[in-house]
Amino acid sequence: MDFIFQNILNALQWGSFYALIALGYTLVYGVLRLINFAHGDIFMVGAYISFFLASFLLGPLVGLSPAMVFLITVPLTMLLTSCVGVTLERIAYRPLRRKGAHRLYVVITALMCGLILEYSNLAVLGASRLKFPELIEKQIWDVGGVSITNLKVLVIAAAIVVFLFLQWVVTRTRVGMAMRAISYDKFAIPLMGIPMDNIIVVTFVLGSGFAGLAGLLFAMSYPVLEPFMGMLIGWKAFIAAVVGGIGDIKGAFVGGFLLGFIEVGVVSVFPSSYRDLFAFTILLLILWMKPTGLFGMPQSTKI
């Protein structure tokens, strides 16, 4: 029994990371119908930014206490990471969108931007792995044989709060209404006096900011940083977003946790090298049964 609860807790934590990244994918996709393949690398950049911020603030120049550093690092990381996301949008995606390029060329550009981020990081900082400093003192509570650390609770809570926040933004605010409108009809929106570019920038700010938050939390939970950490987790989060039904906030959240549960469940029973095989087979079967994902709406096309 303890074994099961412990694994459920691990799955919740692991799924939270997927959910946080998948939310960013799905936001950008829902508005622009663009698969932002650089998103996993924005997550990586977020982890590095938080590392440098934390080391700077803990260092001899400033010398704050770890708890204070944590409180300052979270908003700063989110801000700086969203700057990276918006820069990518300004430099690479917007000119292509203006020229009316085919959707897939923008996707390829996004892939290339991801590669640039990864390898320029490798070139500038070198291949040595970095160790993230411990910001929150680790507390382990033992509840009926199940060990719960405060970090795990923090991560899971962060994922749920972010989900509720994004759901509120998209369904209840004026910006969210504009986002939904853009995804509904891109050509009528400028006629209605809605500043399309500003709304898209807001989307990128939200998506990249929460990728930065995910990077910070990931670096705190698994304190080793390397340039390629975002690649695999980014692809998998994208798959999770699609299985949930891409473009739908709830779908990304559920898909992320589903992938987390499948992976941890497989690892706890089989050898860990079977993880990808089982996870992807199950996801393939889900997509086979429901081709538009769990919460996606089938699109009707006019001829």
Partner 1 sequence: MVLFAVGLLVAAHYRFIDSYIQIVAMTIGINIIMSTSLNLVNGNMGEFTCGHAGFMCVGAYISSILSVACFGSKFGDPLLPASSVLFVFPIILLIGGAVAAVSSLLVSVPSFKTRDDYLAIISIAVNYMILSALENMDFIGGSRGFQGMKDTVWAMVDIFDGPWMLFWVILFTALTVWIIRRFISSTYGKGVNAICQDEVAAEIMSVNTNKIKIINFMIAAGLAGCAGGLYAHIIGYVNPQSFNILKSTEALVMVYLGGMGSLSGAVISAIIFTGLLEVLRSQALIDGLLSPITMMFPDWEPSAGVIKWVMIPLLLVIVMQFRPEGIMGNRELSDVFPWLKKFYRFK
**C-alpha–C-alpha distance, residues 227 and 122, integer Å:** 6
Query: CB-wise, 68 or 115, nearer to partner 1?
Result: 115
**C-alpha–C-alpha distance, residues 288 and 219, integer Å:** 35
- Determine contact, residues 41/230, Cβ cutoff 8 Å: yes
Q: Which of 115, 157, 192, 224 binds partner 1 (CB under 8 A)?
A: 115
Q: Does 292 bind partner 1 (CB under 8 A)?
A: yes
Q: How many residues does the chain have?
A: 303
Nearest distance, CB of residue 235 and partner 1, angstroms = 6
Q: Which of 119, 141, 168, 222 binds partner 1 (CB under 8 A)?
A: 119
Size of the site for partner 1 (CB under 8 A): 48
Contact string (CB under 8 A) for partner 1, positions 83-112, x = contact: ---------x--xx--xxxx-xx-xxx-xx
Query: CB-wise, 137 or 288, nearer to partner 1?
Result: 288
Which span (50-58, 75-83, 113-121, 160-168) binds partner 1, by CB under 8 A?
113-121
Q: Which of 83, 116, 177, 201 binds partner 1 (CB under 8 A)?
A: 116
Q: Which of 213, 283, 294, 295 binds partner 1 (CB under 8 A)?
A: 283
Nearest distance, CB of residue 127 and partner 1, angstroms = 8
Nearest distance, CB of residue 278 and partner 1, angstroms = 9
Q: Does 130 bind partner 1 (CB under 8 A)?
A: no
Q: CA torsion sign, 165 to 166 to 172 to 173?
A: positive
**C-alpha–C-alpha distance, residues 121 and 101, integer Å:** 29
CA 148, chain centre distance (Å):
24
Q: Report which of 24, 69, 15, 64 is spatially closest to residue 43, judged by C-alpha positions.
A: 24
Strand, helix or coil for residue 188: coil
Q: Does 303 bind partner 1 (CB under 8 A)?
A: yes
Query: CB-wise, 76 or 282, nearer to partner 1?
Result: 282
Token readout for 188 is 């009528």
What are 149's strand-pairing partners? 140
Contacts for 42 with CB less than 8 Å, ≥ 6 apart: 24, 81, 84, 85, 88, 117, 208, 211, 212, 230
What residues from 230 to 269 belong to the interface with partner 1 (CB under 8 A)?
231, 235, 238-239, 242-243, 246
DSSP annotation string for 10-47:
HHHHHHHHHHHHHHHHHHHHHHH----TTHHHHHHHHH
Tell me which residues touch partner 1 (CB under 8 A).
29, 35, 92, 95-96, 99-102, 104-105, 107-109, 111-113, 115-116, 118-120, 122-124, 231, 235, 238-239, 242-243, 246, 273-277, 280-281, 283-284, 287-288, 291-293, 301, 303
